[in-house]
Structure 1
Amino acid sequence: MAIESDSSESRTPADIVRRLRPGVGRVTDEVVEEIRTRIPEYARPSDDLYLKAVRRAVEQAVTGFLDRVEHPDGPWNPEPFRLIGKGEAAEGRDLEQLQAAMRLGARVGWRRLTELAGPLGLSPQSLYDLGEAIFVYLDRLADAAAEGYQAARAHSAGELGRRRDRLLDLILTRPPAAPAAVADLARAAGWRLPRTVACVALDDQHGARRTPALPPDVLAGLARPVPCLLVPDPAGPGRAQSLEHALRGRRAAIGPAVALPAAATSLRWAREALELSRRGVLPGGLLRCQEHLATLVVFKDEELVSALAEVRLAPLAHLRPAQQDRLAETLLAWLRHGRGAGEVAARLHVHPQTVRYRLRQLEELYGDQLTDPDIRFELEIALRARQAVLADR
C-alpha cells in the first residue's frame, strides 16, 4: 500500500507505523472499553481472565494491522483470528457479536487516525489509504474468525453425532449394557434418559437413506445394515404425529414401547414386522407392531405355519391354480372383514353376486368347518401365509 505525504514532509508506511506503535496500548484500551460498553455479551466486569483474553485479542488485531501497513506483502497468518472464532463458538455466542466487536474496533481505529492526521503530517490521500486498509484488514479478520467459528461448530456437531452413534450402539447391545455406562454416555451426548423407548426399523431396499426430519431427541442409526431409529417416550404428546410426518412415504415398522434396557427387543420385533410387510403379510407404510402382535407371534415359526396351511388348505388343493387363488382371496377377505357379501365385494373390487357364488363354493368345500372359530382362526393364519408366499414370488 503506497501512502502519500504532504509536500512538507515525506512519510513512508514505516515512518507512520513507527509513530503509531507507541499508541497501541491506548487504542487497545479504547477499543476494549467501547466493546464492553456497546456489546453486553462481552461485559464481564468480575471476570479478569476473560477481560485479559478480550484485551489480548484486540491488541493482536491492532498490532497485526500495523504490521500489514508496514509490510503489505508480508505473510498473513490468520490462525490467531480463527482461534478467536473457535472461542466464540465454544462460548455459545452468535457470530454477529464478534463481527459487531470488530466493526467497533475499526471505528475506534479510524477515529484515532483522523485525530493524528495533523501531527503525523498525513495528506488526505494518505489518510484515505489508511482508512481503506483498515476495512480491508477488517474483512480478512472477519473471514478468518468465521472460518474458525464454522469449523468449531462443525467439529462440535460431528463429535456430538459420534457420541450419539456410540450411545445407540450401546443401548442396542445384547445383553444390555450396564445402566451406569449408558447414563454416562447419554450425559456426554446431551441425551436425556427416557422411561420408555420404541425402535423403528426403516426399509432401505430402494436406497432411501435420506435423513428424515426427526425430533432432536430421536437417535438415528441410518448407516446400520438395517437403518433404524430409537424414539424416546413414544407415547408422549405429539410424538406419533411427528413420526408419521417424518416417515411419510417410507416403509417402516415401529416396535412396541419398552423400558430402555429392552430396546434391542423392540428393534427385533420392528425388523420382523418390516420383513412381513415387505412380503405382503402385513400392510405397507408406517406399521405399528402393537396393532399386529397376533400376526407377529404366529409367524415366528414359519415351518409350523406351512404345516398348518397344508392341512387347512387341503380342500382347495384339487382346484386349478386360478380357482385356488380366487377362492383363497375371497375366503381371507371374508374371514378378515366380515361375513357380508357386499363388504367382501368392496374389498375385492368385484360384484357382490360374484362373492356369493364363491362363498357357496367354499361352503361346499369346507362344510361345517367354517362355523368353527378355531378352524376359522387357523384358516386365516394359513391364508395369510399363502398370501406371503405368493408375494415373495
Structure 2
Amino acid sequence: MNGRRTRSHDLPDHRLWRSAPANVAKLLRPGLAQVAHQVIEEITARIPEYARPADTNYIKAIRLAVDEALRQFVDRIENPNAPWEPDVFRTIGRGEANEGRNLDPLQTAMRLGARVAWRRLTEQSEQLGLTPQHLYDLGEAIFVYLDQLADAAAEGFEEARARAAGEIERRRHRLMDLLLSQPAASPDAIVELAKTAGWRLPKTVAGVALEEHPGGYRPPSLPPDVLAGLDRPGPCLIVPDPDGPGQAQTLEKGLRGWKAAVGPAVPLAAAATSLRWAREALDLHRRGVLTEQRGLLRCSDHMATLIVFKDEELVTALTKVRLAPLAHLRPSQQDRLAETLLAWLRHGRGAGEVAARLHVHPQTVRYRLRQLEELYGDQLSDPDVRFELEIVLRARQSAAAGTA
C-alpha cells in the first residue's frame, strides 16, 4: 500500500471506453477547438468567478485546462489504456486555493463542461455512428472522468492549502522571534512581517509562560490571533489585547489542564518584558512562593511579591540587617515574633485587630509587642524602617511557604 486512499474511479472502466467505435476519436478531434470555445463561453458566462475577459493570462489558463480535459478524454476513447495525466488539474486546484476560493466554482465549471461535451456527442451521434448503448456508456464514462478531474484538482487544492498554512505558521514563528528579541526589533520589520503573517497589530500584548509537558499532552485550544511558541525552549504565548472583552475567560478555557503564568499587559514593543515577568512568576510558583489553587497565575495579582523576589540577594542582605534584633532568639521565637510584627505592620497597631488576624489572645499579642519594642527600640517609629521590615517579613513569609 502507498498510503494514498484508493477510489473506485481511480482506474478507468475499460468497458465504457471500448464501447465506442474505434474511429470516433479521429472524428472528434477536428472539432475539439470548437467544443473548447463553447465550454469556455459557457463557463465565463455562468460563473462570475471566471468572468475575467480583461485578464488574458487567466483566459489562457482556462483554455489550457479545457483543451487538456478534452484531449485526454478523446485519447481515452482511442486507447482505454492511455496514461492518466493529472498534473494540469492539480495545478488548477492549487490555483483555486491561491485565489482564495473553495472548489465549488471549479466543480460547477467541470459540470458545465461535461454538459457541453455530452450535448455535442448527442448532436453528432448519427454522424459518428453511435448507437444509444454507445451514448449511454460514453455518458457514464464522462461522469467517471469528471470524478477523476475533480479528485486531481482537490489534491492540488489541499496541497496548496497545506503549503500556505505552513508558510503562515513559519511567518508567525518568525514574528514571535522578532517580538521577543533583545534588543527589540525594528518596528517597521514587525509591521511588515505581521502583515504577511495575517496578524493584526494589537495595542497591548501579554506574554504567557507555560509549564513544559511531556509529548502527547493535549495542546492548548487558543484563538488564531494568539501567537504560540510551544516548541521553544521555554514554551510560551503572546496574547494580543489581553484585557479585551472575554479574553481572560478565553485564555482560562484554552489553557485548561496547563500550568501557566500570564505577564502584565504591555505595549507591543515590551512583549519580551511581559514574558520575562511571566517566567519569573512561574518559577516562583514552582518553588512554592506563589500559590494559585486553580486557573492561571496572573502577574498582576502578585506584583509586590515579584518585585520583592526580583533581587533575592539584595533582599537577603536587607533581611540580615532588619531582622538582626531577632537573630539571637530560638527559631520558634523568631517565627512568632516575625509573624506578629508583620501583622502589626500590615493591619494596624491595635492589639485586638492583630490578635484577630493571628487567632491568638490579645494579651499574647501585647506581650509579643512589648518584646519587639525592647528588641527594636525607637526603630519601630521610623517609617523607612517599618517599610523595609514589611518587605523582608513578606519575603520571609513567602519563602517559608515555599519550603513548607
1:208-223 equivalences under 5 Å are: 210-223=218-231
Deviates more, 1:137-146 or 1:328-337: 328-337
Q: In the TM superposition, what whole-angstrom CA distance separates every residue of 1:212-271 from its partner, at most 9, and x where no partner exists? A: 232322211111111111122333333333223322342211212222222211111110
1:351 corresponds to:
none
Q: Distance in 2 between matches of 1:263 and 1:217?
A: 15
1:98 corresponds to:
106
Unaligned residue ranges in structure 2 (runs of 5+): 1-13, 374-379
Query: Quick check: 2:179–2:185 contact (8 Å CA) kept in 1?
Result: yes
1:299 and 2:309 are equivalent in the alignment = yes
Structure 1 residue 105 displacement after superposition = 1.4
2:34 corresponds to:
26
Query: Quick check: 2:209–2:234 contact (8 Å CA) kept in 1?
Result: yes
Q: Distance in 2 between matches of 1:158 and 1:315?
A: 62
**Aligned residues with identical type, % of pairs:** 57
Query: Quick check: 1:4–1:125 contact (8 Å CA) kept in 2?
Result: no
Task: Give the TM-score, by structure 2 length.
Answer: 0.80
Question: Which letter maps to 1:74?
Answer: A
1:386 and 2:404 are equivalent in the alignment = no
Change (3 A) 1:68 1:11: closer
Q: In the TM superposition, what whole-angstrom CA distance separates every residue of 1:174-206 from its partner, at most 9, and x where no partner exists? A: 111222222222222222333332211112245
Q: Distance in 2 between matches of 1:4 and 1:269?
A: 71
1:69-80 equivalences under 5 Å are: 69-80=77-88
Change (3 A) 1:205 1:122: closer
Query: Quick check: 1:312–1:382 contact (8 Å CA) kept in 2?
Result: no
1:207-356 equivalences under 5 Å are: 210-284=218-292, 285-306=295-316, 312=323, 314=326, 318=330, 355-356=359-360
Question: Which letter maps to 1:298?
Answer: V
Question: Which letter maps to 1:356?
Answer: V
1:13-92 equivalences under 5 Å are: 14-92=22-100
Deviates more, 1:184-193 or 1:145-154: 184-193
Instruction: State which of 144, 149, 154 in structure 2 corresponds to 1:141.
Output: 149
Query: Quick check: 2:171–2:193 contact (8 Å CA) kept in 1?
Result: yes
Change (3 A) 1:319 1:171: closer
Q: Distance in 2 between matches of 1:64 and 1:275?
A: 66
Query: Quick check: 1:309–1:385 contact (8 Å CA) kept in 2?
Result: no
Change (3 A) 1:291 1:11: closer
Structure 1 residue 159 displacement after superposition = 0.3
1:144-155 equivalences under 5 Å are: 144-155=152-163
Q: Distance in 2 between matches of 1:150 and 1:331?
A: 68
Structure 1 residue 273 displacement after superposition = 0.8
Q: Distance in 2 between matches of 1:207 and 1:361?
A: 55
Q: Distance in 2 between matches of 1:265 and 1:155?
A: 33
Structure 1 residue 150 displacement after superposition = 0.3
Q: Distance in 2 between matches of 1:335 and 1:244?
A: 35
Change (3 A) 1:360 1:38: farther
Change (3 A) 1:114 1:382: same
Question: Which letter maps to 1:382?
Answer: R
Kindly report the root-mean-square deviation, in angstroms, between the aligned alpha carbons of the 2 structures.
3.4
Q: Distance in 2 between matches of 1:263 and 1:4?
A: 65
Question: What is the count of residue pairs matched by the alignment?
Answer: 373
Q: Distance in 1 between matches of 2:147 and 2:346?
A: 71
Deviates more, 1:280-289 or 1:16-25: 280-289
Question: Which letter maps to 1:172?
Answer: L
Question: Which letter maps to 1:385?
Answer: A
Q: Distance in 2 between matches of 1:248 and 1:3?
A: 57
SS in 2 for 1:356: coil
Change (3 A) 1:360 1:85: farther
Change (3 A) 1:247 1:361: farther
Q: Distance in 2 between matches of 1:389 and 1:305?
A: 17
Deviates more, 1:52-61 or 1:302-311: 302-311
1:166 corresponds to:
174
